[in-house]
Amino acid sequence: MDHFLYKNGTLHAEDVAIPDIAASVGTPFYVYSTATLTRHYRLFTEALSPLPHLVCFAIKSLSNVAVLKTLGNLGAGMDVVSGGEYLRAKAAGVPGDRIVFSGVGKTRAEMQLALTGGIRQFNVESEPEMRALSEVATSLGVTAPVTVRVNPDVDARTHEKIATGKKENKFGIPIARASEVYAEAARLPGLRVVGIDVHIGSQLTELEPFEQAYLKVADLTRRLRSEGHTITRLDLGGGLGIPYTRSNEAPPLPTDYGALIKRTVGDLGCEIEIEPGRLISGNAGLLVASVIYVKNGEGRDFLILDAAMNDLVRPSMYGAHHDIVPVAEPAVASPTQEFDVVGPVCETGDTFARGRDLPLVAEGDLLAFRSAGAYGAVMASEYNTRPLIPEVLVHGDHFAVIRARPTFDEILNRDTIPPWL
């Protein structure tokens, strides 16, 4: 469910009409709904209650500090994967003891940053990383709380580029080697083992892979405890999928996911952490664009938008589907036409959809891409020297620009001319 509905024939974000935002900031832009972010965060906290738990929002899905502050104010923790994301979480006012640090290649500088600023735990992913963290912590005179990310060799049955839990993926340590790796972690002077971490992939549309992974984590918890380790936290990762089309998708609900967690690991007395990104942010955002031209090609008609692959890369990168709807509500049973929806970037990959059935649209009309809150703005680039597009946050009948469109001067001034030119 989201808060982007037609009211009086016009698409709204909560109580703000999308054309009002377009008139104020220009297109294209991203717009996020506070009510949807809040609702989705709460679905998780309700699904996990009464287990002791912390929902750590995966910042990588949508990292604007205003969004992080919205969630942080509700009590959310944050899952960060870089020093930059760590600084974003801190800038949003989230205390270190609610920030978990994930990622396969944390640098010593990033470890130092988080150890100095405060951190709930590092999810370490390899023995060399464990040793480096122990050294950094020792040099600072502190101990780093750690979980080890285990790779359970489970098929998440999702897009190959975002599956992470198979043994051939680069993530985690093989679960079969966990005893050995935990024994070393326990010996390293700068580390304090607090739990186990697992994350098997993103956009999972079935619960079964989670179940397989979490049952393995439950067994491992018992084994590691019998080997003398203190396991008080289980970080179960993110990955719950969202519906990208209105019609035919029904991914599992957070309540069912919560029930699964209770069933598989709920009796271990551990604090549960989860790291959802997409389910909180995905359907909380739209990308709004204008039609520049309607071009009738040979056997195909093209809608050329002012948004492009650099603004929303998911269709070109993963073949992902995003529903595209007109901002002016089409009349019931109004005629439709098949369009290839494309951007102005100079490559054929700059295609959002092929043969998409859309109501008749004309130059200047506004279109909205749904489910664009997650992995939209954060994956944008300035390819073709197209400025990063603004982000807008709506709250009831208010909206605010939470990242402004840069000027061309700002963009050009980042390049510097060496002295010999």
Rounded least distance, CB 76 to ligand LLP, Å: 13
- In the complex with ligand LLP, the residue whose CB is nearer, 205 or 290, is 205
Q: How far is the CB of 274 from ligand LLP (least distance, A)?
A: 8
56 classed as catalytic = no
Alpha helices (runs of H) in 49-149, residue ranges in sequence order: 65-73, 83-91, 108-117, 127-140
Binders of ligand LLP in range 98-137 (CB under 6 A): 102
Cα distances (Å, whole numbers) of residue 342 to 25, 294, 318: 22, 10, 16
Minimal distance in Å, beta carbon 309 to ligand LLP?
Answer: 13
Q: Is 63 in the site for ligand LLP (CB under 6 A)?
A: no
Tokens of 73: 């104010």
Of 145, 209, 239, 315, the one binding ligand LLP by CB under 6 A: 239
d(CA 237, CA 416): 41
79 or 391, CB closer to ligand LLP?
Answer: 79
Rounded Cα gap, residues 17 and 380, in angstroms: 25
Binds ligand LLP by CB under 6 A, chosen from 314, 370, 386, 395: 314
Interatomic CA distance for residues 342 and 371, integer angstroms: 18
Selection from 373, 379, 377, 384 nearest residue 405 by Cα: 377
- Which residues contribute to the annotated binding site for substrate? 278, 314, 318, 347, 375
Q: Which two tokens stand for residue 130?
A: 């464990």
- The whole-angstrom separation of Cα 170 and Cα 166 is 9
Between strands 77-80 and 53-58, the pairing is parallel
**Planar angle of CA 243, 54, 215, nearest 5 degrees:** 70
CB nearer to ligand LLP: give 113 or 374: 374
* Strand duo 285-296 + 29-33: pairing: antiparallel
CA dist., res. 73 & res. 305, Å (int): 36
Site string for ligand LLP, 5-44 (x = CB under 6 A): ----------------------------------------
Angle at 375 between CA 339 and CA 253, to 5 degrees: 95
Nearer residue to ligand LLP within complex by CB, 266 or 277: 277
Provide the mask over 143-182, with x wherever binding to ligand LLP is found by CB under 6 A and - wherever it is not: -------------------x--------------------
Give the shortest CB-99-to-ligand LLP separation in angstroms.
13
Q: Please report how close the Cβ of residue 241 comes to ligand LLP at its closest, in angstroms.
A: 7
Active-site annotation holder among 1, 333, 346, 412: 346
* Structural contact between residues 282 and 67, judged by C-beta atoms closer than 8 angstroms: no
The values of phi and psi at residue 212, to 5°, are -60, -45
Q: Which segments are annotated as binding site?
A: 239, 275-278, 314, 318, 347, 375
Question: Residue 82 or 203: which CB sits closer to ligand LLP?
Answer: 203
CB-nearer residue toward ligand LLP: 3 or 314? 314
61 binds ligand LLP (CB under 6 A): yes
Nearest-CA neighbor of 92 among 61, 119, 59? 59
Phi, psi of 277 (to 5 degrees): -115, -70
Kindly state the smallest distance separating residue 403's Cβ from ligand LLP, in Å: 19
| Tokens matching residue 416 | 């510097």
Single-letter amino acid code for the residue at 159: H
CA-nearest of 182, 185, 194, 193 to 271 is 194
The answer to whether residue 254 forms part of the interface with ligand LLP (CB under 6 A) is no
x/- map, 276-295, ligand LLP, by CB under 6 A:
xxxx----------------
Select from 202, 310, 316, 371 the one that contacts ligand LLP (CB under 6 A): 202
Q: Among 12, 69, 199, 229, indicate the residue that binds ligand LLP (CB under 6 A).
A: 199
What are the catalytic residues? Answer: 346
Point out which residues bind ligand LLP (CB under 6 A): 58, 60-61, 79, 102, 162, 199, 202-203, 237-239, 275-279, 314, 318, 374-375
